[in-house]
Amino acid sequence: MDAYAATAAQPAYPIPENVFAERVVSVKHFTDRLFSFRITRPASFRFRSGEFVMIGLPNAAKPVFRAYSIASPSWDEEIEFFSIKVEDGPLTEHLQKIVPGDTVLMRKKPTGTLVLDALLPGKRLYLLSTGTGVAPFASLVRDPETYEKFEEVILVQTCREVAELRYITELVEGLQDDPLVGEFAADKLRLHTTTTRDSFVRMGRVTDLMRSGKLFTDLGLPAISPEGDRAMICGSMDMLNETKSVLQGFGLVEGANNAPASFVVERAFVG
C-alpha cells in the first residue's frame, strides 16, 4: 500500500475551520510528470475563474499545502486541477497517487491576479503559458464571461514534449460539445501549442516567437498593440520576466486587481 492510501482512511489531521475536506471524483494521468484530477465542490465555495487556492492531503498532523490554480471555471459543479509530479516533492510525491474516493484538503480562500477584472476592456486576449501554467487558462476558456469581454481569445501553451500538450488540446477539442461555451469557443478561441524539444508542427518559445513576429504571422494577426490587445502570463519566474519585457516592448502595462491595465502575470510555481 502506498504512503497516501495507508493514511487516507484515518486522517491524522483534524480539519480546521478554514479548510474544506473534499472527495476525489476522477484522476487522469497524461505523462509521468503531469496529471489532472477533479474533486467535489463545497456548496459555499466561490471563486473567480483564473484564481488559485492552497491544497494539501490529510496524511500528516501538519499537512503540506501548496498553491494550485483552479483549472475549472467558476460555474462548474466540481473543482479541477492540473498538476505536476515532482520526484520527492513534499506534496506531489503523494498527490500523484490519489484515486477516486480519497480526500483532498482545500483552504477556503481563493486569490490571484489572472482574473478578467484585472484587465481593461479590449478586443483580443492572449493567454500565454508554459507547462502547468496553462491551468488558470483552462478555467478562463471555459467561462462565458471571457467571450463576453473579448472578441478573440488566443491560448498559447509551450511545453518540451508533445505529450505535455494533451491536457489542453483535449480540453479545447471537448469545448465543441459544451452547451455553455461551445458556440463562443468555436468562433472566438484559438489554441496555439508549441514545443521546445520534441519535433512538432509548431516549435519554439513563445517569447522568441513574439519577438520574431512568427507567432503573429502564423495566427494571421497584427503584432500586439496596447489599443486592443490584452494578455495574461503564467509560467516559471524566468518565463514571466522575459514575456513581461516582450509585452512591455509592445507598449502593454502590467495591471492588478485594484489597478486594471493591459496585462497581468502569475507564477506557475516557486522555483
Ligand X SMILES: Cc1cc2nc3c(=O)[nH]c(=O)nc-3n(C[C@H](O)[C@H](O)[C@H](O)COP(=O)(O)OP(=O)(O)OC[C@H]3O[C@@H](n4cnc5c(N)ncnc54)[C@H](O)[C@@H]3O)c2cc1C
Query: What gap in Å lies between CA 112 and CA 191, rounded to an integer?
Result: 23
Under the binding rule (CB under 6 A), the answer on residue 82 touching ligand X is yes
Under the binding rule (CB under 6 A), the answer on residue 91 touching ligand X is yes
Q: Which of 58, 63, 73, 131 binds ligand X (CB under 6 A)?
A: 131
Q: What is the CA radius of gyration of the chain?
A: 19
The interface region with ligand X, picked from 72-80, 101-109, 130-138, 153-161 by CB under 6 A, is 130-138
For residues 240 and 267, the answer to whether their CB atoms sit within 8 Å is: yes
- Point out the residue whose Cβ comes nearest to ligand X: 89
Q: Which of 48, 66, 142, 192 binds ligand X (CB under 6 A)?
A: 66
Instruction: State the greatest distance between any 2 C-alpha atoms of the chain, in Å, as a whole number.
Output: 57
- Cell triple for residue 108? 477556503
Which residues within the stretch 134-153 sit at the binding site for ligand X (CB under 6 A)? 135
Q: Which of 103, 132, 193, 243 binds ligand X (CB under 6 A)?
A: 132
Q: Which of 21, 25, 60, 64 binds ligand X (CB under 6 A)?
A: 64
Q: Which of 11, 90, 144, 204 binds ligand X (CB under 6 A)?
A: 90
Under the binding rule (CB under 6 A), the answer on residue 271 touching ligand X is yes
Query: What gap in Å lies between CA 24 and CA 40, rounded to an integer?
Result: 7
E strand or H helix at 52, and its extent? strand 52-56
Phi first, then psi, for residue 256 (nearest 5°) are: -150, 170
Q: Looking at this protein, which amino acid is placed at residue 150?
A: F
| Shorter beta-carbon distance to ligand X: residue 132 or 146 | 132
The interface region with ligand X, picked from 38-46, 81-89, 196-204, 211-219 by CB under 6 A, is 81-89
For residues 120 and 260, the answer to whether their CB atoms sit within 8 Å is: yes
Q: Which of 49, 74, 83, 243 binds ligand X (CB under 6 A)?
A: 83
- Cell triple for residue 166? 494533451
| Shorter beta-carbon distance to ligand X: residue 135 or 224 | 135
Query: What gap in Å lies between CA 25 and CA 36, rounded to an integer?
Result: 11
The interface region with ligand X, picked from 67-75, 163-171, 197-205, 249-257 by CB under 6 A, is 67-75
Give burial (CB, 10 Å; 0-12/13-18/19+) of 109: exposed
Point out which residues bind ligand X (CB under 6 A). 52, 64, 66-69, 81-84, 86, 89-92, 131-132, 135, 266-271
